[in-house]
Chain A
Amino acid sequence: MTDLWPDDIASEKITTPISILKEQADLLSKKTSNILQGVIKSNQYKGGFNFTFRIDVPTLNYSFTLFEVSHSADLYPVLIKPSEGTAKELGAHENILKANSEEEFNECLRKIFSAEKTRNVISILLAQAQA
């Protein structure tokens, strides 16, 4: 039988938004020695692909939602909804950031993680967790 499929049909690797989010969540846990734990939660009832990036603080039995992400089956564009304070700081239109590609998604995450509001949240959570 003749193979009609191109040789590189399965060679293109696409990193899904959820994979990127999980990697970043793990990095937060490592950077804070697990005092804060990055957790990605799937929100099934909101339809489509909807995830929450959460910071858990086990010693306080407390979690803080940093932002929500949603996308269709096409993966991109990804819509990112940070807290109102962060959205304003980043100049997001109607409090939503939009990433049309993996590169743009990474850049959006970098901005959210570097935002003053995020840094402040993490400082407060770390301080309270270790109090």
Chain B
Amino acid sequence: MLSFLFWNIYKKPLAENIARMALHYDVDVIMLVESNINPADLLILLNQSLATNLIGYEYAPQYDCTKVQIFTKFSSQFIPPYDDYDRLTIRHLKLPAREDFLLAITHFPSKNDFTESDQLSESIELSNYIKDAENRMGHQKTILVGDMNMNPFEDGLINANALHSVMKRNIAEKKSRIVQNKSYPFFYNPMWRFFGEDVAGTYYYRKAAHKVYFWNIFDQVLVRPDLLKYFNENELKILDFDGQKSLLSKTGIPDKNNASDHLPIYFELTI
């Protein structure tokens, strides 16, 4: 089993919170965006309380991607960059005695800078980067994780020529869909189910306008059909607790003063 934590930390000094979460949830792969943390400082915290004979967490640096930091509780030699872009890093996880797969991590452009139309166009680009990596790798065993800055129902996540992610596992299991004689592979997007829960998203935003969702699920994990058998649905969580402290304010929304404006997501692969 491999466990993953993704968190947009809002450029805050949250190393202690991250270390607590890593220990409490026994996280194997930590993925951070909007992070100014010095990797060495975080590694000291991550490893000081790890009771193990192993070296512990390592930093898995990227080439060109400036938006993502990755820390792994195994040697970084097992998670080399396969493709690197400014906002996207694609890693080839080739762990001993386990099936290999691709892990794509992104911090997608926000609605402050991009219109909905821009985001759709960029989603198509993102999808093409992933498909290109899959073609060269020779399989479609891919997980995409990131702050998508879009909700699961938006065009960039839904459209066939974009990320083509669907809310139902059994639809994704059909692997692909043909539109105008062209086949488009599915992603399964399990994040839909959090709408309506107590913590109904990863990001909260309100303003005095007519159309406001309040809770948004910007932070998402998408799973290709070929990895679905390893995706542990019950262990997918939006975390509101770091093992010691709540990540929510007294009003029950992300505590951006003491933590981040985003909540982290946690998931597992039984690979």
* A positions within 8 Å CB-CB of B: 37, 39, 41, 43-45, 52, 56-58, 60-65, 68, 83-84, 120-121, 124-125, 128
Contacts and interface: CB of A to CB of B under 8 A. Distances in A.
B1 interface: yes
Given A43-B26, A125-B96, A58 B270 contact: no
A127 to B, nearest CB: 9
B121 interface: no
A44 B270 CA distance: 19
B55 A61 contact: yes
A64 B53 contact: no
Contacts of A61: 54-56, 58, 74-75
| Main DSSP-derived SS at the A contact region | mixed
Contact of B53 (A43, A56, A68, A84): A56
A62 B24 contact: no
Chain B's interface size range is 20 to 34
Contact of A120 (B75, B97, B270): B97
Contact of B24 (A37, A44, A52, A128): A44
Interface of B: 1, 24-26, 52-56, 58, 73-75, 78, 95-98, 229-230, 243, 270
A45 B25 contact: yes
| Main DSSP-derived SS at the B contact region | loop
A62 B78 contact: yes
B46 to A, nearest CB: 13
B95 A62 contact: yes
B53 A125 contact: no
30 contacts: A41-B26, A44-B24, A45-B24, A45-B25, A57-B96, A58-B53, A58-B54, A60-B74, A60-B75, A61-B55, A61-B75, A62-B54, A62-B74, A62-B75, A62-B95, A62-B96, A63-B52, A63-B54, A63-B74, A64-B95, A64-B96, A64-B97, A65-B1, A68-B1, A83-B270, A84-B230, A84-B270, A124-B97, A125-B96, A125-B97
Given A45-B243, A58-B53, A83-B270, 12 more contacts: A39-B52, A39-B53, A44-B24, A45-B24, A60-B74, A60-B75, A61-B58, A62-B54, A62-B95, A64-B95, A64-B98, A83-B1
A123 to B, nearest CB: 9
Contacts of B24: 44-45
Contact of A56 (B26, B52, B95, B230): B52
From B25, B54, B73, B78, residue with most partner A Cβ within 10 Å: B54
A57 B229 CA distance: 26
A56 B78 CA distance: 15
Contact of B97 (A37, A41, A121): A121
B96 A128 contact: yes
From B25, B26, B97, B229, residue with most partner A Cβ within 10 Å: B97
